[in-house]
Amino acid sequence: MLSGVLEVTGTYLSGPPVRLGSGEIVGEVSLLDSRPPIATVTAGEASVVLAIPRSLLLDKLRSDTAFAAHFYRAMAVLLAHRMRNTGRHLALGKDQKLDEDAQYDDELSPELLDEVHLAGRRFDEILQRLKSK
């Protein structure tokens, strides 16, 4: 997702659609397990999405093992982060709020946060190149 807002709905989601903004990734679950999507994603407003053809990405993953290792690690970290947030949300319940100042055992390590920062900077550089074309 390069800019705008995407809304995620699905039979397993209750309440209003989940809203995603710039930098979010969608479609990763279906890419990883080759099953039909578990959610519906629609534009909540005018949006710009970078779509990589599945066949092109799969060819790159098959032919470049270093790229594949980095890609799958990034997907694992992304999905683990989402899972932890979902679990925390379910554990807290609807009437409790997350203590933003508390330290949690499952927080991302400083080393991983450094990697996330670098990935964010690379994403911004790619976004600027795409916008200039």
- Note down pLDDT in tens along the chain; length 133 residues: 888 999 998 877 777 888 888 888 888 888 888 788 888 999 999 999 989 999 999 999 999 999 999 899 888 888 888 787 766 666 655 555 545 555 555 566 666 666 666 676 776 777 777 777 6
Tokens describing residue 100: 């933003």
Other C-beta atoms within 10 Å of 42: how many? Answer: 11
pLDDT of residue 22: 86
Task: Give the full edge-to-edge strand order of the sheet including 18-20.
Answer: 18-20, 6-9, 40-43
Q: What is the pLDDT of residue 80?
A: 84
Distance CA 10, CA 7 (A): 10
Q: Which of 115, 17, 6, 114 is nearest to 50 (CA)?
A: 6
Q: Give the contacts of 126 (CB within 8 A, at least 6 positions apart).
A: none
DSSP state of 108: P
Per-residue pLDDT, 108: 60
Instruction: Give the predicted TM-score (pTM) of the model.
Output: 0.63
Q: How many CA atoms lie within 13 A of 125 on its CB side?
A: 6
